[in-house]
Amino acid sequence: MNKDRIAGSAKQTVGSIKEMAGKALGDPEMVADGKAEQVEGKVQSAVGGLKDALKP
């Protein structure tokens, strides 16, 4: 497991929290930001997985 996978997982968690808070507060912009951060985290985690797979 490398730093990209760890950071990606953290971004997914933060994004999920932002999305839930946005829904609770009725803030559609915060919901959208949370969803975007989750996607960014998934991509970063996938890149980290690819790096791990390519390591000799």
CB 16: neighbour CB atoms within 10 A?
15
Question: Would you say residue 19 has pLDDT above 90?
Answer: yes
Q: Between the CA of residue 28 and those of 4, 11, 22, 54, what are the distances in Å?
A: 29, 19, 6, 39
What's the CA gap between 2 and 13, in Å, rounded?
17
pTM metric for this prediction: 0.86
What's the CA gap between 9 and 48, in Å, rounded?
10
> Where are the domains positioned within the chain?
3-54
Average pLDDT rounded to a whole number, residues 30-45: 97
Question: Would you say residue 55 has pLDDT above 90?
Answer: no
pLDDT at position 14, please? 97
Question: Would you say residue 17 has pLDDT above 90?
Answer: yes
Question: Would you say residue 28 has pLDDT above 80?
Answer: yes
Would you say 5 and 12 are in contact if contact means Cβ atoms under 8 Å apart? Answer: no
Question: Would you say residue 1 has pLDDT above 80?
Answer: no
